[in-house]
Amino acid sequence: MIYGVFSDVHANYDALRTVLKHLHSFRPEGYLCCGDLVGYGPQPNECVELCFALPNFKCVIGNHDMSVLDRLPVAWFNSSAAEAIAFTIKTLSPKARSLLETMPLSLDFGDITLVHGSPRNPAEEYLLTGEQFLENADFWKTQVCFVGHSHVPLAMSRAGEKFPEITALRHGEKILLEPRTRYIFNPGSVGQPRDRNNRASCGIFDTEARTFEIFRLEYKVQKTQELMRRRGLSELLIERLGNGW
Ligand SMILES: [Fe+2]
């Protein structure tokens, strides 16, 4: 089965459409999303509705989604993120809100687990190190776990009892899954990349070929920035979208 994999859309509709157009060319039978459909960006309703119209769409809830639904205190966030959450609460349609409410904290099916932050703390932990991989090892059971939250595309792997390896993933990089090895993949962020590369990030997971491949795609960053400005979102958020940080 071929899955389109993405995360951290953050209400960036133009980036989302660019990503979905690319993923669609692989004829995926399903889509996996690690949360944060909203927050930061200007078009939450459009993003939520487009995602939920995808075939076989599986998505877990992210910390921004939770805060919009009043399930995580807004005090958790810095001031510009908190302002964007207030904007999202004000803007969100009843339909989009009810779709967000269906998203669970974690999902596992077949050989795949989905969480936003980490298996042991889906809402909050940024999973970035080998030590964290080990500390999380007993909190998920499948061979592959997809995470988001850090907005950095990463492959983390642990062969047998060895110390985990961590690889930053670049455009076109394809990981071939080995037996007796567990993987945590982060597909990066669609709507607010943070690895000094402003291109939207996504991946393709092929369960038969046992591969995960990452893609970075140019989209109209300035168009999203102009819309953010018109909707009164913070200059800091607008600027970081251009810098990819
Ligand atoms: Fe995020």
Residues 114-145 have pLDDT tens digits of 999 999 999 999 999 999 999 999 999 999 99
Among candidates 160, 88, 163, 104, which has minimal Cα distance to 131? 163
What is the DSSP secondary structure assignment for residue 232, as one 8-state letter?
A: T
Provide the residue type at 183 as one letter. Y
pTM greater than 0.95: yes
Ligand 1: centre distance to CA 62 (Å): 7
pLDDT at residue 146, as a whole number: 98
Ligand 1: centre distance to CA 12 (Å): 12
Q: Could you give the CA distance from residue 101 to residue 97 in angstroms, rounded to a whole number?
A: 6
Q: Among the residues of 28-78, which ranges form H helices?
A: 44-52, 63-68
Q: Could you give the CA distance from residue 198 to residue 92 in angstroms, rounded to a whole number?
A: 26
Among candidates 226, 197, 198, which has minimal Cα distance to 43? 226
Confidence grade of residue 232 (pLDDT, cut at 50, 70, 90):
very high
pLDDT at residue 43, as a whole number: 98
Classify residue 160 by burial, with Cβ atoms within 10 Å: 0-12, 13-18, 19+. exposed
Domains, the chain, in order of start with CATH, read 2-243 (3.60.21.10)
Confidence grade of residue 105 (pLDDT, cut at 50, 70, 90):
very high
Pairing of strands 144-146, 181-186: parallel
What proportion of the chain, given as a percentage, has pLDDT over 70?
100
Ligand 1: centre distance to CA 91 (Å): 19
Cβ neighbours of 193 (radius 10 Å): 24
Ligand 1: centre distance to CA 34 (Å): 9
